[in-house]
Amino acid sequence: MPDYIRQQLQGLDASDQQDHQAVDEGGYIDADKAPQTELVLKLKDFEDFISLADTLRLEGGKSDLYRYKNAYYLVLTFYPNEISSDEAHDQMAVAMEFGDRSPLSSAVLSEYGKRLMETSALETARYYFK
């Protein structure tokens, strides 16, 4: 009986021996596993976020908006297989005109902050705040 339990706990059941891998047709399934460049911005207020959304058309990345300790934070994540390093730096320079680089990591914001908009925060803001 202990061997059976050990196999069950380790997931060695015969029905689980199949390889269940997703087919990556668009390059986005493994995007979070690829090396990436990340910028965390602390914004003065929500209006700065709206202004940034009107100005920056993010290419080759994603944007997440958080609220943490009465401040707004925008996390910009760039994927090198989608955008060149120079283009990413140009987009980061534009973004930093609207906020300050934060020492907080996206992991801290994800754990302790409240996510207001996920993955496409800039696009969502442009849609709702015209």
Coil vs helix vs strand at 54: helix
Residue 29, pLDDT score: 46
pLDDT in tens, 14-23: 444 444 344 3
In a domain, 26, yes or no: no
In a domain, 4, yes or no: no
Query: Running DSSP on this structure, what letter comes out for residue 23?
Result: P
Q: What is the count of structural domains for the chain?
A: 1
Torsion angle, alpha carbons of 39, 44, 48, 49, to 10:
50
- Cα separation, 102 vs 85, in Å, equals 20
Q: Which domain holds residue 107?
A: 34-128
Residue 33, pLDDT score: 57
- The CATH number for 99's domain is 3.30.70.1950
pLDDT in tens, 37-67: 899 999 999 999 999 999 999 888 899 999 9
- Cα separation, 53 vs 127, in Å, equals 10
> Which tokens in the block code for residue 78?
């760039």
